[in-house]
Amino acid sequence: MTSYASPNHYAVMGNPIGHSKSPLIHAEFARQTAQNLTYQALLIDTAPGEFAKAVKQFREHGGSGLNITVPFKQDAWQLATHRTPRAQRAGAVNTLWFDIEEKIYGDTTDGVGLVRDVLQNHGGQIRERRVLILGAGGAVRGVIEPLLEQQPNSCVIANRTVAKAQELVQLFSPLGTLRAATYAALHGQQFDLVINGTSASLQGELPPLPDNLLAKNAWCYDMMYAKQTTPFLTWGLQQGAQQAIDGLGMLVEQAAESFFIWRGVRPNTAPVIQLLRAPSCLMTTNSTLTVTNLSQL
């Protein structure tokens, strides 16, 4: 029987969740920083109301904080009674934490994770760079504000459905120079940093990108990661990208930011990224629980 009595219990909720590396990442953070905590992956039913019910039960059983992944980030935003400004604007929450009152706090740490990975782990630069973001879905919403904070020279959001990109431009343009584009409109333009935030890699697909999109020494960054090089990063290398980076570092960095919010301690991410890159680690965790009623645990 799992005990939630201590105020040191955390989990990630999503559906699917079996692939999640978060339990392994947080276990490593806890070991490294000598924090006494548990962290599990919880598979939550997608039927209406089930997510809110699961969060309530988790909390009632003494849970302290949660990571939230697909498809519940918007539900988590709704549920949060207090949101950080960046989460408020993004419309999505990936980190929840509670206090003794009824308050539920929400933040989104994905964008911070992306920026830290580019700047600190890879020694890159966003400031003064011409940035192109591919996609305008939930994943992209969470990263625009931290990217604009770096003061790029310009930032273009390209999407198949251009209306969604325009919507994001309207929402975020008070924070920096931002434009929307169709993929066709990218012909003749060049960028220093191209970030793939579409889910195309999941289907082994590539957005319809023109040749000569990459400026000299340009970097390509895929917010997804996989055992094999993603189609987008393969394209980037073929097009002469100086660096082609997958989203594993971003995953670890967003987790570190959540860990810091919950525990007030910042873990060292480099050894955890290294651990996850090891072939023996490229498997799914076996600590997933299917949850219908936490009180039955």
The answer to whether 123 and 99 have CB atoms below 8 angstroms apart is no
Under the binding rule (CB under 6 A), the answer on residue 161 touching ligand ATR is: yes
At closest approach, how far in Å is the CB of 106 from ligand ATR? 17
At closest approach, how far in Å is the CB of 216 from ligand ATR? 26
* Interacting span for ligand ATR (CB under 6 A) from 58-66, 135-143, 248-256, 286-294: 135-143
- Pick from 63, 65, 135, 236: which binds ligand ATR (CB under 6 A)? 135
- Measuring CA to CA, which residue among 102, 133, 90, 35 is closest to residue 254? 90
Q: What's the CA gap between 59 and 54, in Å, rounded?
A: 9
Give the residue closest to ligand ATR by C-beta. Answer: 137
* Interacting span for ligand ATR (CB under 6 A) from 104-112, 133-141, 231-239, 287-295: 133-141
Indicate if the alpha-carbon torsion angle 109, 111, 112, 117 is positive or negative.
positive
- 3-class secondary structure, 154: strand
Instruction: List CB contacts of 30: < 8 A, sequence separation 6 or more.
Output: 36, 37, 39
Under the binding rule (CB under 6 A), the answer on residue 164 touching ligand ATR is: yes
> In the range 207-246, which residues lie near ligand ATR by CB under 6 A?
207
Distances (CA, A) of 71 to 1, 6, 13, 24, 212: 28, 28, 9, 21, 35
Cis peptide before 23 (omega within 30 of 0): no
- 3-class secondary structure, 218: strand
Nearer to ligand ATR, 43 or 223 (CB): 223
Nearer to ligand ATR, 93 or 272 (CB): 93
Nearer to ligand ATR, 247 or 267 (CB): 247
- How many chain residues bind ligand ATR (CB under 6 A)? 14
> Which of the residues 21, 73, 164, 227 is marked catalytic?
73
Active site residue 216: no
Query: Residues 179-208: x/- map of binding to ligand ATR (CB under 6 A)?
Result: -------------------xxx----x-x-
At closest approach, how far in Å is the CB of 110 from ligand ATR? 10
Instruction: List CB contacts of 223: < 8 A, sequence separation 6 or more.
Output: 114, 139, 143, 195, 196, 197, 247, 250
Under the binding rule (CB under 6 A), the answer on residue 159 touching ligand ATR is: yes
Under the binding rule (CB under 6 A), the answer on residue 142 touching ligand ATR is: no
Nearer to ligand ATR, 113 or 135 (CB): 135
| Amino acid at position 165, single letter | A
- Phi, psi of 137, rounded to the nearest 5 degrees: -95, -160
Measured CA angle at 180 (ends 174, 182), to 5 deg: 175
- Measuring CA to CA, which residue among 184, 193, 140 is closest to residue 164? 140
At closest approach, how far in Å is the CB of 51 from ligand ATR? 15
> In the range 51-90, which residues lie near ligand ATR by CB under 6 A?
none
Q: What's the CA gap between 76 and 205, in Å, rounded?
A: 29
At closest approach, how far in Å is the CB of 198 from ligand ATR? 3
Which residues are catalytically annotated?
73
- Residues binding ligand ATR (CB under 6 A): 135-139, 159-161, 164, 198-200, 205, 207
